[in-house]
Amino acid sequence: LEGAAVGENAGDLSGDCFDLSNPIEVNREECDDCTAVGGELTVDGPTTVCKSDGIDDNFTLVVTGNEGESQVYVVTWLDGEIILISEDPEFNLEGIPGNGTCLFWSLSWDGEIEGAEVGLNANDLMGDC
| Domain segments of the chain as ranges | 40-127
pLDDT value, residue 94: 83
| Residue 59: predicted pLDDT | 87
What own/partner pairs with CB < 8 Å and gap ≥ 24 does 34-37 have? Answer: 34/110, 34/128, 34/129, 35/67, 35/68, 35/110, 35/129, 36/67, 36/68, 36/69, 36/108, 36/109, 36/110, 36/129, 37/65, 37/66, 37/67, 37/68, 37/108
What pLDDT shows up at residue 100? 85
The whole-number pLDDT of residue 28 equals: 78
The per-residue pLDDT for 118 is 96
Instruction: Report pLDDT digits (tens) over 32-43.
Output: 778 899 999 999
Confidence at residue 123, expressed as pLDDT on a 0 to 100 scale: 95
Q: How confident is the model at residue 112 (pLDDT cuts 50, 70, 90)?
A: very high
* pTM for the predicted model, two decimal places: 0.71
As a whole number of angstroms, the distance between CA 71 and CA 16 comes to 64
| Residue percentage of the chain with pLDDT more than 90 | 48
Q: How far apart are CA 123 and CA 114, in angstroms?
A: 11
What does each C-alpha distance from 21 to 12, 24, 49, 68 come to in angstroms? 15, 9, 71, 43
Rounded to whole angstroms, the Cα distance separating 113 from 2 reads 55
CA distances to 6, 29, 48, 120 from 101, rounded to whole Å, are 63, 42, 9, 17
